[in-house]
Amino acid sequence: MTELNYLWPLTDGLLIGLAAGLYLLLNGRIAGVSGLAAAAAGLTEDGDGKLGLAFLVGIIAGAWLAAALARKPEIVITSSPALLIAAGLIVGYGTRLGSGCTSGHGVCGLARLSPRSLAATAIFMAVAGATVFVTRHLIGVQP
């Protein structure tokens, strides 16, 4: 890969940040998908379920439109159903306990220099990297 290729992820990232920024300035809220999903499912006390659902519907429609108009996604998933269920449960529980995920802590929290989000992002990045190292290189679960 040439270095120029990394200009694309950078510009694609601008779209994600633009969406998060607009959501803050228009609706006054954090565009964190775990929080929005919990609110949409009626699992929070202070979240706005309708806004959460609207944002999630937008994500699905936006990805669908981009796939139809811009590029066809190539999605590589090698995990077994049992692993998908286990990981889903852990991600659901963990993001609620830790109050956020890659979007809420990563994109929004780092942008507002929140010390909690900085700590959270460092922790989940490190643990995810360690998990991949163990599963791929030590016990060889994944190809």
Looking only at residues 43 through 72 of this chain, which bind other proteins when binding is defined by CB under 8 A? 43, 45-46, 50-52, 54-67, 70-71
Distance CA 104, CA 36 (A): 10
2 versus 115: smaller Cβ distance to other proteins: 115
**CA-to-CA dists, residue 6 to 9, 42, 75, 108, 115, angstroms:** 5, 39, 20, 22, 28
The least CB distance from residue 17 to other proteins, in Å, is 4
CB of 62 to other proteins, least distance (A): 3
List the one residue from 4, 77, 139, 140 that touches other proteins (CB under 8 A): 77
Using CB under 8 A, count the residues that bind other proteins.
108
Minimum separation from the CB atom of position 84 to other proteins (A):
5
How far apart CA 21 and CA 31 sit, in angstroms, is 8
Phi-psi region of 127 (alpha: psi -120 to 50; beta: other; left: phi over 0): alpha
* H-state helical runs in 80-114: 81-97, 110-111
Does residue 107 contact residue 31 with C-beta atoms inside 8 Å?
A: yes
Q: Which of 2, 26, 139, 140 binds other proteins (CB under 8 A)?
A: 26
CA distance 119 to 122: 5
User: How far apart are CB 143 and other proteins at their closest, in Å?
Assistant: 10
In the range 80-139, which residues lie near other proteins by CB under 8 A? 81, 83-99, 101-103, 105-108, 110-112, 114-116, 119-121, 123-133, 135-137
